[in-house]
Chains A and B, each alone.
Chain A
Amino acid sequence: MKSDDLESMSVLADPVRRDLYRFVAAQGRDVGRNEAAEAAGIQRTLAAFHLDKLVDAGLLEADFRRLGERRGPGSGRPAKVYRRGGPERTVSLPPRDYRTLALVLAEVVDRLDGDQEGQEAARRTGERLAAASEHTTLTDVLAERGYEPYEEGGRIRLRNCPFHVLAETHPVLVCSMNLAMCEGLLRGLGEDRFTAALDARPGECCVAFVAEDITGHIPEGPSKNNQD
């Protein structure tokens, strides 16, 4: 664990900052000060203060951009906008380092050509995780697992890859295992209204959930087979 990661986290001790951070991160796009202030229910100047603190800590990135359609003279100064910062922050007390071991194991599985076994294990893990979850809907379980689900064009897409570092170093292995794990989540939930498929695009998780119902309507409500 790097000490500056712990410093970054301490910036989030303020509940207003946590709200602002969560809001900006959840949008998946640039967010202006007014919008963030409104979402947090605070004044614009106070929001600006907290947003800039989050930038100083590296949790958000700031940029200047013209908001709205107006161009040219009279359109005003570019507005300051915010988005989630790129670097990962990990805090583990006492220090633990699962990442390095995961990288070593991924290397081994690749060399042994163990894709298939990796996918089977990931599918079983997905089933277990879903069955053990307190949540009963697919989006809640995905949110709990850190995938940051959102709806787009009748699909559930995932804004965040929880396995990002490994998906960069061993993309085929890790993305195939992630797909299998998502299939396991569906099975563990008894959710048969969706299928998981690879639908990779830059900057997001490689998996999307496609509604079996071809009208594009995302079904809602619990579907987990409650067996206890």
Chain B
Amino acid sequence: MHLAQLNVAHLIAPIDGPELADFVAALEPVYAIADSAPGFVWRMKRSDDPTEVIVHEYGDDLLVNVSIWESREALWNFVYRSPHLELLRRRREWFLRTAVPYTLMWWVPEGHTPTLGEAMERLESLRTRGPGPEAFTFKEFYEPGASEPSLP
């Protein structure tokens, strides 16, 4: 099984505005790091231009990332132990704070590439029903086939 991931962020200003300039400038190097990271499998993209963000029907201010990784460790190391961490540290400069979960994971069979609709449904499930085997987080992580979260 592979680990699929969705994260969403509400922009504080238009993506092509001056407020987001530092963030947009970081997209190319950080996606390059993701694409060559150990355990990276796939990510959803609109084109080969990393500054062209995914267009969807969930609102213009919503930035989405969907990707697939070989393991929890591979995804964790990219998110928190690479230059991506600096983007997370500065997230309040670019994104609105949300009281609801904005990121989740779930297991997919190898070779399956999820659609954005499928990913957003799982986010909705996490937000309404809390973490479970179908939609979970790093804090409450479910191993493949597990019905209970693994202890940290």
Residues of A within 8 A of B (CB): 113, 115-116, 168-169, 171-172, 175-176, 179, 197-203, 206
Give the number of residue pairs across the A-B interface with Cβ within 8 Å. 38
Q: Tell which of B81, B91, B97 touches A200, judged by Cβ atoms closer than 8 Å.
A: B81
Instruction: Check if A172 sits within 8 Å of B82, measured CB to CB.
Output: no
Chain B residues contacting A171 (CB-CB under 8 Å) are 79-80, 85, 88
Instruction: Check if A169 sits within 8 Å of B89, measured CB to CB.
Output: no
Interface centre among B77, B86, B139 (most CB of A within 10 A): B86
23 contacts between A and B (CB under 8 A): A115-B92, A116-B92, A168-B152, A169-B139, A169-B152, A171-B79, A171-B80, A171-B85, A172-B80, A172-B85, A175-B89, A179-B89, A197-B86, A198-B85, A198-B86, A199-B83, A200-B80, A200-B82, A200-B83, A200-B85, A201-B81, A203-B81, A206-B85
Chain A residues contacting B152 (CB-CB under 8 Å) are 168-169
Chain B residues contacting A197 (CB-CB under 8 Å) are 86
Interface residues on B, range: 10 to 19
Give the Cβ gap from B103 to chain A, nearest Cβ, in Å.
11
Given pairs A168-B152, A200-B81, A206-B85, 16 additional interface contacts (CB within 8 A):
A113-B97, A116-B92, A169-B139, A169-B152, A171-B79, A171-B80, A172-B89, A175-B80, A197-B86, A198-B85, A198-B86, A199-B83, A200-B80, A200-B85, A201-B82, A203-B81
Residues of B within 8 A of A (CB): 77, 79-83, 85-86, 88-89, 91-92, 97, 139, 152
Compute how far the CA of A197 lies from the CA of B85 in the bound complex, rounded to whole angstroms. 11
Chain A residues contacting B81 (CB-CB under 8 Å) are 200-203, 206
Chain A residues contacting B92 (CB-CB under 8 Å) are 115-116
Give the Cβ gap from A206 to chain B, nearest Cβ, in Å.
6
Chain A residues contacting B85 (CB-CB under 8 Å) are 171-172, 175, 198, 200, 206
Chain B residues contacting A202 (CB-CB under 8 Å) are 77, 81
Chain B residues contacting A116 (CB-CB under 8 Å) are 92
Compute how far the CA of A115 lies from the CA of B89 in the bound complex, rounded to whole angstroms. 9
Compute how far the CA of A190 lies from the CA of B81 in the bound complex, rounded to whole angstroms. 29
